[in-house]
Structure formats: C-alpha cells, structure tokens
C-alpha cells in the first residue's frame, strides 16, 4: 500500500490520507524509531552530547509527524473509525514511550553524559536539553527495578486508554443531547441571530421546522444568557452539568477514580508523595504547598467581592422576577440583565462590530504592529475540512515564518472548546531553520443565511487567546524541537495567550478591526468605554470560579485518592469554600473536567490564574510604554515568544520585564486590590 504518511511530507497530505493508513504508518514509524534508538545504544564510542543526547532528540521525527496529524484529527475531525484506531494505537505508543524511557543501555549513555556535564562546553540550550532528557528518564522510571518498570508500563497503557474513553464519552454525551423546540414562545429573549442559528441547526438535523438547541457552546451559551424560559434553562443546565454522570454506558465516574488512583500509584512508584508532587517539580510553582498558598491568597482577596456580587445578583433577580433562590441556571441570565442595567451594554450591541473575518484581520494586524508578521491566505495547502483556512506567515523581510491553520466552527466530529496545536515543530539542523506548522481550533457561532459569523465579545477574547498560543508556536526560534514553541513549563504556557487578550479592551487596537459588518462604522468610543468599565464586572465571582476549579484539581491529585469512593461527594467537599449557588445533586463537574482528566492540566489548572499574574504584570509594562511599543514588543518576542523552554521561565520573564511579576498587578486589574 502506498501510504502517504510514510512518504516524506512538509504540510500534512490530508486529502491523500485514508483511515486505514494510520495504524500501519504508526507501526512502521515506531519500528524505524526503535532502529534509531538501537543505533545509539550500539555505538561503541563513549557517550557524548552529540552522539547520544542530540541524536536522540532528532530521532522518531516521522512518528512525531504521524502522531500530530492523527491526534489533531481525533480532536477536530473525528469519527468512530478514528476513535477505534486511537484506542488501538494509544497503548502501543505508551508502550513505545516506555520502551525508550526504560531502555537501560540508552539510560546508561544519557547518565554518562549527564555526569560529565560540569566539564562539557555546552550552550544554555544544550544544558537545558541535557537536564530535561536526563530527568525525563529518571522521572519516568529509568532507575526502577524490573518489577516496578513492568508495573509502570501497565499503568501507562491503562491510563492512555482511560483518557481516550473519558473524552469519547463527553463528546458522545454532547452530541446526544438535542432539544427540538416547536413553540417560538419558548425562545423569548433569545437574540435573532441565535434563533436563526437554532432554526438552521434544526434543518441540518432533518427537522422540517422549529429550532434546535444543543450543548455546543454557540447554542448553549446564548440560551443560558438570554432565554426567559427558566424551566428550559434548567433543563439545559442540568444536561450540560450532568455530562457522563448518569450511571449509563457514557458515565465517567469509574474512569475518574481509576485515572486518579493510577496517577497516584505511578507517582509513588517513582518516589513522589502524590501526582501533584511529581508534576509540580517541573513547574514554576514547584510544590503543592505553594499552589495551595497561591490559590488561598487569591481566594481570600476574591471571596468578599464574590459574595457581595452574588448578593447583588440575588437581590436583582428577586426585584426583577421575584426569584427566591438563585440557581446555577439563573446566573448567566440575570448577570447579563444586570450588566445591561449597569452599563447599558450587551453582547447583541457588540456582535455587529465583531464579524469573524474582521477580528481575524485585526489580530493579524496587531501581530504585524507588534512583531512584524504578515499573514497571506493561501489555497495550495491541503486541509482536513473545507472550513479550515490556511495561511503562510512571513516576517517584515519576507522570510517565511510559519504555516497557520485556522478552524473556527463547531461540527459533530470536533470536541468542544478552543485550543492551539501544532502539525510540525520548529528546529534548527544542518544550517536550516525548519519552520513550524501551527493550528488554532475553536467553536464559534457560525454564519447563518442572513448574517455572517458575528462573535460575542467572549469569543473575540478566545480568538485572541488561542492566537497568543499560536504566536508562541509560530515565532519559535530554538535549536531543539522538544524545547521549541509552547514546550515550556505548563504554568508559563498561558502567558502569551492571556497577555494578548488585553488588546481586546484597548481603543487603539479595537479601532483596527471592530467595524460594523453592514456600515463599516468603527465601534463607538462610548461602547469601548463600556467594554473597559464592564471588564471587572463580577470579577470576584469569576475569580472564585476559576480558583474552585484549581482547588478541585489539587483535591484529586494532591493527596492519596484511594479512599475516595464517591466522585460527587468528593467534589462537593472540594468546592466547600467556593460555592455560591446551591448544589444540584444530578450534576458533577469532575466527570466532564477534560482539562485535568484528558488534557495536560492535571495538578496544573491553577496555572490559568498564575499566568494571569504574569500577563497582568507584563501588560502593565506595555501600557506604561504604549500598547504597540516596538521596544517592549521586541523584548517580549526575543525573551519569551522565541525562546520556548530553553531556559527557566522566571529567568526569561525577568529578562523581559526586569523584575519578578507582582500579584498586585492582577488584583489591581481585577478591581480586587483594596477590597475587604
């Protein structure tokens, strides 16, 4: 079989790839990578940085490319066949990874180079690579006995299958719920655009008339925010909150308990007290104690504000609709009404100024003003779905920088949320700077028969956020692929994404792209002022919500989970100090908390807040010098965006900013500085 995945390719040859190509390609690429490893261990010369560390770094590149194509498709354009292949190849890849990490001959050579490091003449990046490579082996079992190595392999194989099953169950649950509305009165309050999208969705699902509601964000969020029908809001809210928590074949409770226990056992095997101790050793936060102290310090500042805001919301709902007890399905609705009352501002006023194409042009122009980048849309790059847009990115001297893929709307084969990923890393070898292929995937409100895709302000900030990650990938300029782009400490990775969101609130930036889709009129200053004023609206509640997720994550991973028998009871206890609404027994967050049970955020959810401290402090520097100040932007590009994981992130940050970040910058921006 002529397998396109086993040919040499630059951009992924999506149109040539069939599902049956994947497994044979994985198997052959794993064999090739094993041969490359064998060549390193069979080398009779003494181990050196070049013949061991560097050769290992550039081994298995074909396998990396195949994996990135396959697993990106499994997230953005999956089907039952791809999911089945994922279940088959994930344990094989896990075993392959362990074959390398637990290869004694290979580790001996790595250890030998590591022990000579004081006498070697290495660059900063080479030292980091050596350190990282040694640790990746020692932290993953290279020093264990054979019996313990064997158990480690079992744990990793089981975990990889459980994580996949966890994600598949959530996707199936999301796709399963479809509420067909036939009475227009049930949609009272819903904006025209959202109604039209719901009618279009009903048609696409084979209904002759009516409106369709689903649990996809572009359908779910507007309904929760605007629909007057409280019973329907409750139904949707409970459906959303009970994903994979119904005791049926899509239930994730058992999976959550198994994943948490396997992670704990793995950490113990490797000599760590808990999974969090293992993870945080390689993070800026360093220890679970520091994470708890950080989360609790912020909680102390945010809680009085959150409680005051919640009381204000309760009083408002009581006054408006005689609501005695504010429930989870009421919050968005009354928050939006209160926001309109206080600021005379709602998403419907703003959306006409945020046509998707204009926002894309805007974020590109901001990237040009800050970093000299130019984006050229092209049609000669193969793509995995017709909705995907493809670009070639150049610098101001017309040097090629990156390929950029953008995929913006929900579909049945795409998981919810928004993310940045890469189809090819950046590295330097044999005098060539190999440039990366970066992708942003989102789930934004699609266009309808009468309107283009008009984004909510929240979707605008999401686009900027993911594009910030994208810039981190695109501007990578390191020698080694494993230190390139977003390959940084996990609690540093959100800095580039979160800092870019700040431009969405600035007049100078908004004027570039916030133009009415029909008239071309630039967003009025009065609306810009309201966006800024409302930026800290209910910030106490929002902060407490984020902190509650961080505390839930630490509750699963920062202690021995073996005594936890009831997922919901455990979660309720973890949320004790952060709850504002009454509990709903039929919902559970953990069973759909993909960030920590499927993605890479286990013991790391706190990093969103941690990175907010970094981004508030970093943006304060831009504000001080001017938001398009070239000198500050160049420093940010040179010391943060291009450096990847080549040095300790705090060293890089201080080189950019001249000092460590201050938590006060975040508190001040959030309006929580002098609240008691």
3-class SS of residue 208: coil
Which of 197, 177, 183, 192 shows the shortest CA–CA distance to 237?
177
Sign for the CA dihedral angle at 403, 404, 410, 415 comes to positive
- Tokens in use for 619? 């943006």
The neighbour count for residue 535, using CB atoms within 10 Å, is 16
Closest CA to 167 of 462, 533, 419, 515: 419
Q: DSSP assignment, residue 454?
A: B
CB 490 within 8 A of CB 283: yes
Instruction: Please give the distance of CA 348 from its chain centroid, rounded to a whole number.
Output: 27
Given a contact cutoff of 8 angstroms between Cβ atoms, the answer to whether 222 and 328 are in contact is no
Which tokens in the block code for residue 305?
């504000």
Determine which one of 54, 309, 466, 494 is catalytic: 466
Sign of the alpha-carbon torsion through 55, 283, 647, 476: positive
Rounded alpha-carbon distances, angstroms, from residue 511 to 347, 504, 516, 623 = 18, 10, 11, 17
Tell me how far apart the alpha carbons of residues 485 and 474 are, in angstroms, rounded to a whole number: 7
Chain Cα centroid distance, residue 401: 23
Task: Take residue 498 and report the two structure tokens written for it.
Answer: 């979160």
Tell me, rounded to whole angstroms, the distance of Cα 334 from its chain centroid: 28
Cα–Cα distance between 594 and 592 in angstroms, integer?
Answer: 6
Helix/strand/coil (H/E/C) assignment for every residue in 513-533: HCECCCCCCECCHHHHHHHHH
- Extended beta strands in 398-459, E state: 400-407, 419-424, 427-429, 432-434, 437-441
DSSP designation for 413? T
Is-contact 56 12, C-beta < 8 A? Answer: no
Q: Which tokens belong to 653?
A: 């940050």
Active site residue 387: no
Q: Write out the catalytic residue numbers.
A: 466
């Amino acid at each position: 079989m002529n397998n396109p995945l086993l040919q040499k390719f630059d951009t992924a040859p999506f149109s040539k790839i069939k599902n049956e190509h994947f497994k044979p390609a994985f198997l052959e690429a794993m064999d090739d990578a094993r041969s490359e490893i064998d060549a390193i261990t069979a080398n009779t010369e003494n181990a050196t940085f070049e013949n061991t560390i560097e050769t290992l770094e550039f081994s298995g590149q074909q396998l990396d490319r195949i994996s990135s194509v396959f697993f990106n498709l499994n997230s953005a354009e999956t089907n039952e066949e791809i999911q089945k292949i994922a279940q088959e190849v994930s344990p094989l890849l896990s075993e392959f990874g362990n074959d390398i990490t637990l290869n004694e001959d290979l580790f001996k050579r790595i250890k030998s180079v590591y022990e000579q490091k004081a006498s070697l003449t290495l660059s900063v990046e080479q030292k980091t690579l050596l350190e990282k490579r040694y640790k990746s082996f020692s932290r993953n079992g290279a020093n264990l006995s054979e019996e313990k190595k064997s158990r480690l392999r079992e744990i990793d194989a089981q975990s990889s299958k459980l994580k996949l099953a966890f994600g598949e169950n959530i996707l199936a649950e999301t796709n399963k719920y479809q509420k067909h509305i036939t009475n227009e009165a049930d949609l009272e309050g819903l904006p025209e655009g959202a109604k039209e999208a719901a009618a279009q969705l009903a048609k696409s699902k084979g209904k002759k008339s009516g409106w369709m509601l689903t649990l996809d964000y572009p359908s779910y969020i507007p309904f929760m925010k605007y629909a007057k029908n409280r019973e329907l809001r409750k139904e949707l809210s409970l459906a959303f909150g009970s994903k994979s928590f119904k005791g049926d074949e899509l239930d994730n409770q058992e999976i959550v308990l198994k994943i948490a226990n396997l992670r704990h056992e793995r950490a113990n095997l490797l000599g760590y007290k808990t999974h969090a101790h293992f993870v945080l050793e390689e993070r800026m936060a360093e220890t679970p104690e520091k994470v708890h102290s950080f989360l609790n310090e912020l909680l102390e500042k945010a809680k009085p504000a959150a409680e005051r805001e919640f009381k204000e919301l309760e009083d408002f709902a009581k006054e408006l609709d005689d609501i005695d007890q504010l429930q989870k399905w009421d919050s968005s609705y009354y928050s939006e009404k209160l926001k309109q009352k206080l600021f005379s501002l709602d998403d419907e006023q703003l959306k006409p100024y945020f046509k998707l194409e204009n926002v894309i042009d805007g974020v590109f122009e901001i990237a040009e003003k800050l970093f000299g980048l130019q984006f050229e849309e092209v049609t000669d790059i193969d793509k995995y779905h017709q909705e995907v847009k493809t670009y070639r990115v150049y610098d101001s001297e017309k040097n090629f920088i990156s390929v950029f893929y953008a995929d913006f709307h929900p579909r049945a084969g795409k998981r919810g949320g928004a993310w940045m990923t890469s189809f090819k890393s950046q590295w330097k070898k044999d005098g060539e700077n190999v440039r990366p292929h970066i992708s942003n995937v989102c789930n934004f409100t699609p266009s309808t028969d009468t309107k283009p895709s008009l984004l909510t302000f929240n979707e605008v900030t999401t686009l900027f956020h993911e594009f910030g990650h994208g810039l981190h990938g695109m501007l990578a300029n390191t020698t080694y692929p494993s230190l390139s782009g977003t390959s940084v400490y996990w609690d540093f990775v959100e800095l580039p994404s979160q800092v870019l969101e700040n431009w969405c609130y600035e007049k100078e930036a908004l004027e570039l792209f916030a133009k009415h889709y029909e008239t071309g009129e630039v967003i009025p200053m009065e609306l810009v002022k309201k966006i800024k004023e409302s930026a800290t609206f209910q910030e106490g509640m929002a902060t407490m919500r984020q902190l509650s997720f961080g505390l839930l994550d630490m509750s699963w991973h920062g202690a021995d989970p073996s005594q936890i028998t009831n997922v919901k009871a455990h979660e309720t206890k973890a949320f004790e100090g952060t709850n504002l609404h009454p509990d709903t027994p039929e919902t559970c967050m953990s069973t759909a908390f993909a960030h920590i049970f499927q993605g890479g955020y286990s013991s790391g959810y706190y990093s969103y807040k941690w990175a907010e401290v970094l981004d508030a402090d970093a943006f304060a520097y831009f504000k001080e010098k001017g938001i398009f100040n070239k000198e500050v932007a160049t420093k940010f590009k040179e010391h943060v965006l291009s450096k990847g994981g080549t040095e300790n992130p705090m060293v890089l940050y201080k080189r950019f900013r001249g000092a460590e970040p201050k938590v006060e910058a975040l508190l001040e921006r959030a309006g929580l500085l002098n609240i008691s």
